[in-house]
Structure 1
Amino acid sequence: MEPFRISVAQDVLDDLRTRLVRTRFTAPSAPGWDAGADPDYLRSLVDYWANGFDWRAAEMRLNAYPQFTDRGQHFVHVRRDASRPPVLLAHGWPSSFIEMLPLTDLLEVDVVVPSLPGFLFSALPDRPLTRAAIAETFHTLMTETLGYERYFAFGGDIGGAASGWLATMYPHEVAGLHVIHGPFPADFDAAPITPEEQAFLDAEERYDEWDSGYSWIMSTRPDTIAAALADSPAGLAAWIIDKYRDWSDCGGDLESRFDRDTLCTILTLYWATESIGTSFRQYLDYPLNTPRPQITVPVAVTQSHEPGIENFPRSIAHRAASDIRQYSVPGRGGHFLAFEEPRLIADELRAFMQAVD
């Protein structure tokens, strides 16, 4: 385990600015964001990224958190109270470890925030990047690298799914699981699908038909789109902010949830690490995932408020997990809930950990 500090070379930043100021922007195909990233907003953000954003200040803020690498795995490790089980906070796509930092600031226990394999400073493993493989990497980090005997896991999106696998693969070490997307069962064979469940599944399918273009591209032609995004920072920005706006609980106003410095910090991290392509690997490898067994450890759900998932029936989570201790639907905070509503999540996570531990 080696200490790690973020230090982007100045020539990388100079090259980035040169590319930004020479960006060629597309004409809009539809008003505003109706056809994807709004070209007018993108132009404004790119101008700020090139001429107003202070990366070195952002770098200094990030380096205030103790960071390490071990076996190619990057993580933040904040020590606070070793007498209680720690918590692992796992992000998703197109996110990064910084999504979990506001939540980290509010917790009183030891906190571990890994970068997903293939994201930013974490290397890809030498095997398919399934949810189970991510879980195994995280468990090795928590037990072998850091020496914890028991721990809690929290996450959403990919991180939440990997945390679900942690709970099924290592039920004796995982004290509890807290997720922002209610877990899905491997199948619906145990009991007939209810009308509420069917309505949700139908609505989710309709939303996916509208929203899943990005996923199909990254699942089937990741190297093609990665070649464009790795060469154009404006293209990278468009690809990422489109999802931050769509999936967050921002009411169409992206900067009501993510200010420009935060957006530019995320974008610079992806750019400087050249990791947008490797972040797609878990999409390419998704068909290699196997059905996850039922979750038997204590579970808490704080349901996110985002398109396609906000009407998730609690009964589906009960099909997937046998011991749901806590379930709430706050009606605010989207796909990046830990960042959008860190105090809400801190309160719910704290209550869950205290009740279980």
Structure 2
Amino acid sequence: MTGDHAVRPLQLAVPDAELDDLRDRLRRARFAERETVTTPDGSDDWRQGPPLALVRDLVAYWADAYDWRRVEAELNAHGQAVTEVDGLDVHFLHVRSSRPDARPLVVTHGWPSSVIEPLEVIDRLAEPGSPDLPAFHVVAPSLPGFGFSGRPTSTGWDAERTADAWVELMRRLGYERFLAAGGDWGGRVTAALGTRRPDRVEALHTFTPYVGEPADPGQLTETEQRWVDETRRFWRFGSGYSLEQSTRPQTIGYGLVDSPVALLTWVLDKFWAWTDHTGDVETAVGRDRILDTVTLYWLSATGASSARFYWENFPANRAARPVDVPTAVTIFPGDMEKLPRPWVEQRFTNLTSWTEVERGGHFPMLEVPDLYAESLRHAFSGPQAADA
């Protein structure tokens, strides 16, 4: 393909000078004083945000032991490429399965995530190892303003426009009809694919089936009521980052682009709060994978542009039209927003599968990659009973 529609292979090779600059900034970091809260047993207390002792430890590791070249090699080994769509470069990973019966699948990440998240499951999905398991040609794009996708220079790049860009991306790769999966903003893009192009989307999967709270919540089970209470508590006490990024993304963006410690703590706070663990975030997502994500944001200088995706998409339910394509939902227990199935069914009208798994949180591809891959195989292995 030639001209503006060319798909350009990308081999990352970040200059040593950029990595040296990062390490230098980390070694010269000026830290805030220690938090004023403590726990009775002396463990880390996160009530005011990431604890100083942990931040110092991670910063020292990032400066002296972390290996970006490892993740750079991983990305380069998974069909990394860029193509211009609607005036913006779209960065993506693309792994074709060796299986002749494989189906195309686009997997979309959210915030504060990146293609590092689908990178963890892409091989499992493309080459499942058993002929009895479905296989997929996997495409994992970086959202506009994220990673090595272009940073928009004007307004308008919302979830709906992104969904349209994904349709064009998949067409260029030879996929006229495809499956779609994602969570967080990736879930909203996936839902938008279902509403805008049901002729192109065979079925979709999400672990964040976002719907508004109905005027009449109906009769809820004990579990559903607990989910609603936890979700309301998150909206009340845990969504300050969203208010900032949806109203003043440029303000927070300066710090995220200029200070690696600010970027680390902004992202780390969400990894701790939104994953499935009992106090130690590294039992859910290892420090290298956390730092892979943060380093990708740093090297691509996308702290501000990724925050603006919130500004582009608020109020977030403005385009919450019914989704009629076959939809599978997986609920991970450590996620911070879980909604009752009857509410979800009011929007996702063709719910073919509803599964509640035993582990995982808001970053399931990183936390429980085997469970996530299994949930997609289940979703896309054929028609599922509505009460699966």
TM-score (norm 2): 0.86
Counterparts of 1:241 and 1:288 in 2: how far apart (Å)? Answer: 25
Matches within 5 A, 1:138-217: 138-143=166-171, 145-184=172-211, 188=214, 192-196=216-220, 201=228, 203-217=230-244
Counterparts of 1:133 and 1:280 in 2: how far apart (Å)? Answer: 17
Matches within 5 A, 1:281-320: 281-287=308-314, 290-306=318-334, 308-310=336-338, 312-320=339-347
Q: Residue 264 of structure 1 is aligned with which of 288, 291, 294? A: 291
Structure 2 match to 1:340: 367
Structure 2 match to 1:23: 29
Residue 60 (1) aligns with residue 34 (2): no
Give the total of aligned pairs: 352
Structure 1 unmatched runs, 5+ = none
The answer to which structure, 1 or 2, has the higher relative contact order (CA under 8 A, 6+ apart) is 1
Residue 331 (1) aligns with residue 358 (2): yes
User: 2:230·2:336 contact (CA, 8 Å) conserved in 1?
Assistant: yes
User: 1:82·1:109 contact (CA, 8 Å) conserved in 2?
Assistant: no
Any runs of at least 4 consecutive aligned residues in structure 1 with deviations exceeding 4 A, and if so which? 197-203
Counterparts of 1:215 and 1:329 in 2: how far apart (Å)? Answer: 26
Counterparts of 2:322 and 2:115 in 1: how far apart (Å)? Answer: 28
Structure 1 vs Structure 2 CA RMSD: 1.9
User: 2:159·2:189 contact (CA, 8 Å) conserved in 1?
Assistant: yes
Q: CA deviation at 1:215?
A: 1.3
Structure 2 match to 1:3: 9
Counterparts of 1:219 and 1:203 in 2: how far apart (Å)? Answer: 22
Residue 232 (1) aligns with residue 238 (2): no
Counterparts of 2:15 and 2:30 in 1: how far apart (Å)? Answer: 25
Counterparts of 2:275 and 2:229 in 1: how far apart (Å)? Answer: 22
Structure 2 match to 1:39: 52
Q: Residue 93 of structure 2 is aligned with which of 70, 76, 99? A: 76
Q: Secondary structure at the match of 2:314?
A: helix
Measured against aligned partners, the alpha-carbon deviations of 1:185-237 in whole angstroms (never above 9, x if no partner) come to: 6x747xx4314277755542332221111111112221111111211111110
Structure 2 match to 1:130: 158
More off after superposition, 23-32 vs 105-114: 23-32
Q: 1:351 to 1:204 in 2, by over 3 A?
A: closer
User: 2:181·2:205 contact (CA, 8 Å) conserved in 1?
Assistant: yes
Measured against aligned partners, the alpha-carbon deviations of 1:109-162 in whole angstroms (never above 9, x if no partner) come to: 20000011100101144442322112111111112x212111110100000111
Q: 1:343 to 1:203 in 2, by over 3 A?
A: closer
Measured against aligned partners, the alpha-carbon deviations of 1:275-328 in whole angstroms (never above 9, x if no partner) come to: 111001111122366333211111100112235424x21111111111111111
Residue 103 (1) aligns with residue 103 (2): no
User: 2:108·2:183 contact (CA, 8 Å) conserved in 1?
Assistant: yes
Counterparts of 2:362 and 2:315 in 1: how far apart (Å)? Answer: 24
More off after superposition, 84-93 vs 118-127: 118-127
Structure 1 match to 2:128: none
Structure 2 match to 1:112: 139
Q: Secondary structure at the match of 1:315?
A: helix
Measured against aligned partners, the alpha-carbon deviations of 1:155-192 in whole angstroms (never above 9, x if no partner) come to: 0000011100101111111010100123416x747xx4
Counterparts of 1:323 and 1:333 in 2: how far apart (Å)? Answer: 25
Counterparts of 1:302 and 1:198 in 2: how far apart (Å)? Answer: 18
Counterparts of 1:154 and 1:309 in 2: how far apart (Å)? Answer: 18
Counterparts of 2:202 and 2:141 in 1: how far apart (Å)? Answer: 18
Identity %: 37
Q: 1:245 to 1:79 in 2, by over 3 A?
A: same
TM-score (norm 1): 0.93
Q: 1:230 to 1:297 in 2, by over 3 A?
A: same
Q: Secondary structure at the match of 1:27?
A: coil
More off after superposition, 176-185 vs 32-41: 176-185
Counterparts of 1:97 and 1:122 in 2: how far apart (Å)? Answer: 11
Q: 1:82 to 1:162 in 2, by over 3 A?
A: farther
Q: CA deviation at 1:334?
A: 0.5
Measured against aligned partners, the alpha-carbon deviations of 1:38-76 in whole angstroms (never above 9, x if no partner) come to: 111000000000001122223222211111000000000
Counterparts of 1:206 and 1:136 in 2: how far apart (Å)? Answer: 34
Counterparts of 2:11 and 2:109 in 1: how far apart (Å)? Answer: 20
Counterparts of 2:179 and 2:271 in 1: how far apart (Å)? Answer: 27
User: 2:155·2:312 contact (CA, 8 Å) conserved in 1?
Assistant: no
Q: CA deviation at 1:348?
A: 2.0
User: 2:336·2:361 contact (CA, 8 Å) conserved in 1?
Assistant: no
Counterparts of 1:208 and 1:100 in 2: how far apart (Å)? Answer: 27
Q: CA deviation at 1:28?
A: 2.2
Q: Residue 90 of structure 1 is aligned with which of 92, 96, 108? A: 108
